[in-house]
Structure 1
C-alpha cells in the first residue's frame, strides 16, 4: 500500500492517494497571505485509520517548507489537529504575504 499526498492547486486542495486512487482531500482557499483549510474528508471506508491526520500533516509540512503563508483552520478537523500538535501552531502565527498566494505555479512536493 502506497500513500501519497499531492497538491492539486487547480482544485484548491491536497489529495491523499492510495496506490494512485484518491481517498481523501483537504480543501483550502487562498487569500490575504493565508491558506484557509475549509474542509477535510476521507472516504467512509477509510476512516479510523489515521489517514486524515497523515493528509493534514503532509499538507502543513508542504506549506511550511514551500510557502510563507499563514494557516487558518476553518475546518473543525484541521483546527482540532493543530490543537493536538503544538509543533505546528506556529503556522497560524505567520504574517504571510500575498505573493505566496500565487503558489499554484510551484510543483507539488509530496
Structure 2
C-alpha cells in the first residue's frame, strides 16, 4: 500500500489526502468564529479501507489542536464517529 499524504487546502476549506499524487479524499469545513465545523468527508471508492479517512481526520484535528483556542463541531458523520473511536480528540469538540 502506498503512503497517504495529507495537506490543508485553505483555498477550498478542506483537508485532503493524496495517494501516489492522486486525490484520494477530503474533509470539508467552515470556520464559525473560534469553531471549525467539519461538514463533509469523502473518500474515493478506490481508496477505501486504506486508512485515507483516518489520515484526513487526524490531520484536520491535529491542525485544529495546534490553533490555540479553536474547537471542533463534527457535523460530518465520519468525523463524529472517528472522534468517538479516538477519545484523545474528544476535548476538541465544542460544548
- TM-score normalised to structure 2 length: 0.89
Secondary structure of 1:81 counterpart: helix
Over aligned residue pairs, what C-alpha RMSD do you find? Answer: 1.5
Task: Report 1 or 2 for greater relative contact order, CA contacts < 8 Å, sequence distance ≥ 6.
Answer: 1
Q: Following the alignment from structure 2 to structure 1, what is the Cα–Cα distance between the partners of residues 21 and 50?
A: 18
Count of residues in Structure 1 that have an aligned counterpart in Structure 2: 94
Q: Indicate conservation of the 8 Å contact 1:53/1:81, yes or no.
A: yes
- Corresponding residue of 2:12: 11
The aligned residue for residue 90 of structure 2 is: 89
Contact 1:5 1:59 (C-alpha < 8 Å) held by counterparts: no
Give the Cα separation in 1 of the matches to 2:68 and 2:5.
20
Q: Please name the residue that 2:73 is paired with.
A: 72
Distance 1:14 1:67, change over 3 A: farther
Match of 1:62 in 2: 63
The 4+ residue runs of structure 1 with deviation greater than 4 A are none
SS of the residue corresponding to residue 82 of structure 1 reads helix
Structure 1: runs of 5+ lacking an equivalent: 95-110
Moved more, 66-75 or 82-91: 66-75
Which residues of structure 2 form unaligned runs of 5+? none
